[in-house]
Amino acid sequence: MPLRTGLLGYGIAGRVFHAPLIAATPDLELTAVVTSGPARRAQAAAEHPDAELPHTVEDLFGLDLDLIVVATPNRTHVPLALAAIEAGLPVVVDKPFAPTSADARRVLQAARYRDVPVTVFQNRRWDSDFRTVRSLVADGALGAVTRFESRFERWAPDVWDNWRELGAPEEAGGLLYDLGAHLVDQALELFGPVSAVYAELDLRRPGVQVDDDVFVALTHVNGVRSHLWASSTASHHGPRFRVLGSEAAYVSEGLDRQEEALATGKPFDDLSTCGRLGLPDHAEEVVGLPGAYSEFYRLLVAALRDGSPLPVDPESAVRALEVIEAAFTSARTGQVVSL
């Protein structure tokens, strides 16, 4: 029998990422979707006609489910995750795991007490370009890596009417929580723990309440330096990745296209990214490994069925939140923060 899955939220995260991935995963069933507003309910019904549409979270938890996915605004991640744990149901929480590392640890303590699996949807670990960088670094193709540069840059000069643009701390809005959660996670995955954090967070657009132009510099314990950018006001986009090593560099442009494919219903054919590996006077094109967002839910099914490792260790999400908190402190004080 497939694992009966309840999805909380049908905004961008729920509709574009979770619902289609759950529906396409063998041994998972999108059983129910909870979303507010008649337009989103109608869209969910049209796109997933076999799914139930309970009106409330309480109604959802009254169904016979095997898994809960939390894809709601950031301020609700912790209470909904705790409710799932209290119900004894494994839970996937979209990134960022929680508004603070202390909140995230509270969730993990409850999960350990109830012996309930919890994981975090860090889907960009399965981006084509990131999978390629991870492989090149692991194979030693660049020699000893000294500097890792990573960017998510957009040109979106108008403030978006969305909770991500709200300034109240409990909303966990702004680019550092949004795109920065991916940037920091990827840097930690590649190069391990961090000893120092420096950040510059700016509010560039008229009327904006939260950071929309971000730079974070990490010094890893192993000596690698990661420079991370996220911006809504980038009128020119730098390379997605630039990785510098003692023997070669790797540079890739553009973004992984899996989100576009999921949003438009396009097939996942030939969605690999390309980059160049080598030296200034000689670099060769590298066809990237294919993007593989579907791996998250495939690995989750294996973890729930067979006890194999979860696709994302939630402790890694806590460590990323600690780095994000240090970045906020650094931006506020103008100082490097030691971890």
Tell me the pLDDT tens digit for each residue of 110-128.
999 999 999 999 999 999 9
Q: For the chain, give the percent of residues with pLDDT over 70.
A: 99
Q: Where are the alpha helices (DSSP H) in the chain?
A: 19-24, 38-47, 57-61, 77-86, 101-114, 128-139, 175-191, 258-264, 294-306, 314-333
Mean pLDDT of 58-66: 96
| Domains of the chain, first to last | 3-121 (3.40.50.720), 125-292+322-338 (3.30.360.10)
- Three-state secondary-structure class, residue 153: strand
For residue 150, is pLDDT > 90?
A: yes
For residue 321, is pLDDT > 80?
A: yes
For residue 69, is pLDDT > 80?
A: yes
User: pLDDT class for 81, splitting at 50, 70, 90?
Assistant: very high
User: pLDDT class for 82, splitting at 50, 70, 90?
Assistant: very high
User: pLDDT class for 135, splitting at 50, 70, 90?
Assistant: very high
CA 35/CA 189 separation, integer angstroms = 33
Computed over every residue of the chain, the mean pLDDT equals 95
Beta carbons within 8 Å of 150's beta carbon, 6+ residues apart: 183, 186, 187, 226, 227, 228, 229, 240, 241
For residue 249, is pLDDT > 90?
A: yes
**Phi, psi of 94, deg, nearest 5:** -65, 155
Beta strands in 213-262 (DSSP E): 213-220, 225-231, 241-245, 249-252
Q: What is the pLDDT of residue 268?
A: 63
Contact 92, 115 (CB under 8 A): no
| 145 DSSP β-pair partners | 245
How far out from the chain centre does Cα 2 lie?
Answer: 25
